[in-house]
Amino acid sequence: QVQLVESGGGLVQAGGSLRLSCAGSGRSFMRDAMGWFRQAPGKEREFVAAINWSGGDTYYSASAEGRFTISRDTAKKMVFLQMNSLKPEDTAVYYCAAKYDSGGYYSSTHQYEFWGQGTQVTVSA
């Protein structure tokens, strides 16, 4: 069975940083794109960042661009999200996701097959 487990969430003040980690198992992920999504209470799950199968291409939401960096260590089945200059509006549960990378789009929640349980990120003012 495929499993994705997020870690690294917590409480941080506005302007601070967090690094989220996602550990995968049950699959090589070598041909998979990996993504980060987030969901705040009462809101839809939204795209944050993605990285393609080779790690050579990254994609970001407008809100994440310039502040967040996605990276991966495919051999270790790990994906990371470095989050800097955090804002209260970044508060959400952050989810790691994976999908077979056939190219195309990476920003839709419906495109991803495998999901973690999420890790809470809370940014205080």
For residue range 15-54, list pLDDT tens digits in order: 999 999 999 999 999 999 999 999 999 999 999 999 999 9
**Binning pLDDT at 50, 70 and 90, where does residue 100 land?**
very high
| 44-67 core/surface letters (b: 16 or more CB in 10 A; e: else) | ebebbbbbbbeeeeebbbeebeee
Inform me whether the pLDDT recorded for 103 exceeds 90.
Answer: no
Which conformational region is residue 53 in: left (phi greater than 0), alpha (psi within -120 to 50 degrees), or beta? alpha
Confidence (pLDDT) at 61: 98
Of 120, 90, 121, 95, give the one whose Cα is nearest residue 109.
Answer: 95
Confidence (pLDDT) at 104: 80
Task: Give the pLDDT confidence of 7-17 residue by residue, as tens digits.
Answer: 999 999 999 99
